[in-house]
Amino acid sequence: MYRARMRHLFLLTSGWTVLAVGLLLLPVPVPMPFPVAAVLMLAGAAILTAHSRRFRNGARYARHRYGWLSRGVETVSARAPESVQKIVRRTRPDLIERHARRRATRAGI
């Protein structure tokens, strides 16, 4: 139990750290051979999506709220490996839409 909790805490900390470093490198005007900041941000998001329910819910909400973001993620994931497609499936905004429909039918709208 203790070992699993420590592993989970380590993964959450490393995910947030990688994401933060990616965000910090985003405005750096130094030319790089590939977009390091984007790669770090995606890696951090992948770690957090796999291990944080709050991050997944936040990603679902962002994809629900901003349709262009959801369409872009779906377009990129169509060419991505299966592991990336699994992460994208876990953040689909279908759950939020289903919950909103259920609330509307209960309210009699």
Note the pLDDT tens digit of each residue in 52-74: 999 999 999 999 999 899 999 99
CB 85 within 8 A of CB 77: yes
Which amino acid belongs to residue 15?
G
pLDDT at 29: 79
For residue 52, the model assigns a pLDDT of 92
Q: Which H or E run includes 5?
A: helix 2-25
The pTM (predicted TM-score) of the whole model is 0.78
Distances from the Cα of 43 to the Cαs of 26, 38, 47, in angstroms?
14, 9, 6
What pLDDT shows up at residue 109?
A: 60
Calculate what percentage of the chain has a pLDDT beyond 90.
40
Helix (H, G, I), strand (E, B) or coil at 73: helix
What is the predicted pLDDT for the residue at 32?
75
